[in-house]
Amino acid sequence: MNRFLVFLAFTLLSIVLFMSGACRKEENFDTSPDLKLGFSTDTVFFDTVFATIGSSSRVFMIYNPSKERVNISSVRLARGNNSPFRLNVDGIAGTEIKDLEIAGKDSAFVFVKVTIDPNNANNPLIQQDSIVFSVNGNLQDVKLLAWGQDAYFYRNTIVDSDYTFTADKPHVIYGFLAVDSLYTLTIEAGSRIHLHKDAFLLVYRDATLKVNGTKEQPVIFQGDRLEPDYQDIAGQWGRIWLYAGSINNEINYAIIKNGEVGIHADTTGNSPNPTLRLNNSLIYNMSFTGILGQGTYIEAANSVIGNCGNRSVALTLGGKYDFRHCTIGNFWNKSFRREAALVLNNYYFDVNNNVQLRPLEKAYFGNCIIYGDKDDEINFDQHSSGGVFNYTFENCLLKTKADLSDESKFIASFKNENPWFRDPYKGEFQPDTLISPVIDKGNLLILNGFFTDLSLDQAGNSRIGDAAPDLGAYEFLLPERRKR
């Protein structure tokens, strides 16, 4: 009898469980094309600098905002099997996971691993990929970023002490690196600074940048893409920004290339010295402007600023400027260029669209070349109402439509004669033939009283061994005398 009762109870319980299961609704999936997943981050950073073969893991979460279940048809790495990254979702590892289900208002963990040999010089400085999520016909992604070589990396960094960039490894800036007020960033000779897309180096008020390159070991600023296809692509990074009030900045023997703006020097600070002294440097292949001065004080010597998508040198909002033995050239051929190689300006429009005049106290060019492939490579942008607008070109070759008869502004200068550069479209602005009109057209007195020795040209050749200095940053040499 007891066995019968046990059997009966078991049978009734089975029927109840079956009936309750049959009556329960099957949970639906949210198939709306408007559904968007949530993520705990939009970018996963692997910011450890590895000393040996690097392997590191990170984790983030996926959120299902819907009350119903969601089916993620694909979670995959955009670079597939070529990616240094690997995924693990719900215990499933690989480069792609399919049909991942997440319950309503629930979440899932995604584990990401990267393995890189940071000592492999063929790696990019920064390795990038993304995880692509396909949901109801829509694509979303989470970016992945890891350091690809052994280097010093800075991501949205504020330097709050005196600091030195050494030359032993590259320095890579992601986002920004800012030198805080009252401190100095010193960059040693031979250092290599690589900036990621849109990244910039910022020097705050009362802070200072000292770039101590040499002829043999220049300091190089460029993008972080080192593949051959990127060696002459402009616009790969942002700018060097000497913020309003930065002081006593010096850049010696630097090569600044392939960014948007080479040097942006803002309004003068609390120092009687120039905001920037630029010496023996090359600035070229910038997508916008080589040097942008805004109401500032710049002295520049033995430097080439050339081939920029907008202006090579723009001296705006007034200020004080002194350029000697510089070549300002523009033979940009990657897009249409509207602006002149050199722009001088003494005004701006404020937020209410009212004109504000700013005095151009001094814009002096001595023994310089301003030339390019447009009919007029100098824009004298003085406001129609006047204002202080002082400029002088002494012993210069100019590409311009301007009348040079005013000898107080154009001293021993001449215009529109081909300087016979070696290959200006490749940024080679050396005079390359004896018929060049820039040979021996300089004034020896312009070499005197400047902040640097101008007796040697940008390449280290003497300017004082013949009749007179040549114009521009380079002295002409016969082929047999050129340094190899």
Q: Is 24 domain-assigned?
A: no
- Kindly state whether residues 113 and 59 are assigned to the same domain: yes
How far apart are the C-alpha atoms of 56 and 350, rounded to whole Å? 50
Q: How many CA atoms lie within 13 A of 399 on its CB side?
A: 20
- Kindly state whether residues 114 and 208 are assigned to the same domain: no
* Predicted pLDDT of residue 166: 97
How far apart are the C-alpha atoms of 357 and 359, rounded to whole Å? 7
Q: Is 32 domain-assigned?
A: no
- Kindly state whether residues 253 and 361 are assigned to the same domain: yes
Higher-confidence residue of 237 and 7: namely 237
Higher-confidence residue of 51 and 292: namely 292
Higher-confidence residue of 364 and 17: namely 364
- Which CATH number belongs to the domain containing residue 362 in this structure? 2.160.20
- Kindly state whether residues 326 and 293 are assigned to the same domain: yes
How far apart are the C-alpha atoms of 407 and 97, rounded to whole Å? 76
- Kindly state whether residues 124 and 206 are assigned to the same domain: no
Q: Is 239 domain-assigned?
A: yes
- Kindly state whether residues 318 and 287 are assigned to the same domain: yes
- Kindly state whether residues 104 and 173 are assigned to the same domain: no
- Kindly state whether residues 58 and 182 are assigned to the same domain: no
- Kindly state whether residues 370 and 306 are assigned to the same domain: yes
Interval 204-233 mean pLDDT:
94
Nearest to 472 by CA among 425, 443, 430, 432: 430
Range with top average pLDDT, 26-35, 149-158, 225-234, 339-348: 339-348
Measured CA angle at 328 (ends 326, 329), to 5 deg: 140
**Average confidence score pLDDT of the chain:** 91
N-term to C-term CA, the chain: 111
pLDDT digits (tens, 9 = 90+) for 281-308: 999 999 999 999 999 999 999 999 999 9
* Predicted pLDDT of residue 305: 98
- Which CATH number belongs to the domain containing residue 90 in this structure? 2.60.40.10
Predicted structure pTM score: 0.85
Q: Exposure of 228 by Cβ count < 10 A (0-12 exposed, 13-18 middle, 19+ buried)?
A: exposed
Q: Identify whether the C-beta of residue 237 lies closer than 8 Å to the C-beta of residue 200.
A: yes
Interval 356-360 mean pLDDT:
96
**Chain-centre distance for alpha carbon 83:** 25
* Predicted pLDDT of residue 125: 86
How far apart are the C-alpha atoms of 296 and 276, rounded to whole Å? 9
Of 147, 166, 189, the last residue of a domain is 147
Domain that holds residue 61: 38-147
Of 147, 166, 185, the last residue of a domain is 147
Nearest to 282 by CA among 330, 339, 220, 227: 220
Interval 203-218 mean pLDDT:
97
Q: Band the pLDDT of 481: cuts 50, 70, 90.
A: low
Q: Is 6 domain-assigned?
A: no
Helices and strands, counts by H and E, the chain: 1, 40
* pLDDT at 13 exceeding the cut of 90: no
Interval 351-356 mean pLDDT:
94
- Kindly state whether residues 210 and 105 are assigned to the same domain: no
pLDDT digits (tens, 9 = 90+) for 245-263: 999 999 999 999 999 999 9
Q: Which residues contact 406 (CB under 8 A, 6 or more apart)?
A: none
Of 123, 147, 171, the last residue of a domain is 147
* pLDDT at 95 exceeding the cut of 80: yes
Least confident of 104-118, 157-171, 326-340, 415-429: 104-118
Q: Is 12 domain-assigned?
A: no
Number of domain units in the chain: 2
- Write out the H or E segment, with its range, that includes residue 328: strand 327-330
* Predicted pLDDT of residue 23: 45
Interval 432-445 mean pLDDT:
96
Interval 56-83 mean pLDDT:
94
- Kindly state whether residues 168 and 95 are assigned to the same domain: no
Interval 377-389 mean pLDDT:
97
Share of the chain above pLDDT 90, in %: 81
Q: Is 31 domain-assigned?
A: no
- φ, ψ dihedrals at 24, nearest 5°: -70, 135
- Kindly state whether residues 196 and 131 are assigned to the same domain: no
Q: Is 440 domain-assigned?
A: yes
Q: Which residues contact 312 (CB under 8 A, 6 or more apart)?
A: 289, 290, 291, 305, 306, 328, 329, 330, 341, 342, 372
